């Protein structure tokens, strides 16, 4: 089962694909809120800093974890120089630690200028 939704304006298109089959509903509310805040920051960064015009957000269950990706077509960024100085990225990391999960930003050199992927993995039992 998969739920897909799209939102589009003249400036941006956002696609959302939920393949969790309702697993997120079983996560306690405080953790759902943390996940929401992390994804909200990833979307905000893509729109405000990367100049993205297309975003794809996916949610799925894999190997006992909830896996979320936020992919954009923006300008990309150098995660090594940006990650230590950005309050938004620090907040995302802090929320991820509270979830006992992991987060990664991928915008490697061959893709630099061709978008960023944020990967959030949250253990789920």
Residue 75, pLDDT > 90, answer: no
**For residue 76, what is the domain's CATH number?**
3.30.565.10
Task: Return phi, psi of residue 69, to 5°.
Answer: -130, 140
- pLDDT of res. 109: 58
For range 53-58, the mean pLDDT: 94
Q: Coil, helix or strand for 16?
A: strand
Instruction: Give residue-wise pLDDT tens across range 89-115.
Output: 899 999 999 999 999 999 865 555 688
Which residues does residue 8 pair with via DSSP β-bridges, in sequence order?
13
Residue 85, pLDDT > 60, answer: no
- pLDDT of res. 84: 47
Ranges 38-42, 47-51, 55-59, 98-102: which has the least confidence: 47-51
- pLDDT of res. 58: 96
- pLDDT grade for 50, boundaries at 50, 70 and 90: confident
**What's the whole-model pTM score?**
0.86
Distance CA 66, CA 40 (A): 16
Task: Return phi, psi of residue 37, to 5°.
Answer: -65, -40
Instruction: Give residue-wise pLDDT tens across range 3-17.
Output: 667 777 778 889 999
| Domain count for the chain | 1
For range 22-34, the mean pLDDT: 93
What is the domain range of residue 43?
Answer: 3-123
Residue 1, pLDDT > 90, answer: no
């Amino acid at each position: 089962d998969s739920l897909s939704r799209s939102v589009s304006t003249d400036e941006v298109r956002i696609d959302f694909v939920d393949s969790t089959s309702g697993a997120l509903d079983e996560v306690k509310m405080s953790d759902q809120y943390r996940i929401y805040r992390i994804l909200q920051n990833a979307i905000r960064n893509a729109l405000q800093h990367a100049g993205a015009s297309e975003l794809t957000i996916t949610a799925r269950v894999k190997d006992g974890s909830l896996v979320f990706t936020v992919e954009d077509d923006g300008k990309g960024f150098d995660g090594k120089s940006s990650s230590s100085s950005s309050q938004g990225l620090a907040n995302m990391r802090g929320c991820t630690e509270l979830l006992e999960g992991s987060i990664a930003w991928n915008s490697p050199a061959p893709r630099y200028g061709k978008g960023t992927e944020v990967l959030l993995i949250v253990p789920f039992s």
